[in-house]
A = this chain, B = another copy of it.
């Protein structure tokens, strides 16, 4: 991939972090990348293509920093690894902030644009499986279904906290603290499930039918 192309993608990530996916104007991107509008249309089919490729690019960058660093000789202990993965998003560093923002935008856009859902659903499955895997190492006795449920909660929470952080509604350190608290709560939750496998969420509390009479 040409340098110029990459430079445009990097600029696009910055502009998206500033204006959102739906607020990205080709002209503003051109200014940010110090190129002409026409050059963008030379390197990309149209605005939609540019957006898709930028999101893919951001996604790759995110995977790169989620994955274990090569320098780490011995893998982290499971709980530590889990925390590292889930807290990685909460750092006030341009790249990370850009990725979080773009990712949040992708999610928000998918509510109205079914075309975006495929990529999102796939990334979610992978992400949930990774977190469930970490949880499984922390609580090996917990049933698979409980691990998945906990992982789905943690990843969904991540997004909610991230949105609040990026909107300056929740300070960064609070977001991190909430995330840590949730991990603690879920790990304890799984420990209870492991000790008493019959105990199910669905039957432990009144069903949805009861709630709306």
Footprint of B on A, CB under 8 Å?
A: 18-20, 22-23, 79-80, 83-84, 87, 91, 101, 104-105, 107-112, 114, 117, 120-121, 124, 149-150, 152-153, 155-161, 163-164, 166-170, 173-174, 176-178, 180-186, 188-189, 192, 201-202, 204-206, 208, 211-212
Interface of A is mostly: helix
Say yes or no: B155 contacts A160, CB within 8 Å: yes
Bound CA span A152–B84, Å:
21
Count the copies: 2
**9 shortest interchain CB distances as A-B pairs:** A156-B160, A108-B108, A185-B189, A181-B201, A159-B160, A160-B160, A110-B167, A22-B22, A20-B112
Contacts of A91 in B (CB 8 A): 212
- Which B residues are CB-close (under 8 A) to A164? 124, 156
- A20 and B22: CB pair below 8 A? yes
CB distance B192 to A178 under 8 Å?
A: no
Q: Are A169 and B120 in contact (CB under 8 A)?
A: yes
Given contacts A192-B188, A202-B177, contact A156 B157 (CB under 8 A): yes
B169 and A124: CB pair below 8 A?
yes
Closest CB of chain B to A149's CB: distance in Å? 5
Q: Please report the C-alpha to C-alpha distance between residue A23 and residue B22 in the assembled complex, in whole angstroms.
A: 8
Could you give 10 example pairs across A and B, Cβ below 8 Å?
A20-B109, A83-B205, A83-B211, A152-B170, A156-B157, A156-B163, A158-B160, A180-B201, A185-B188, A188-B192
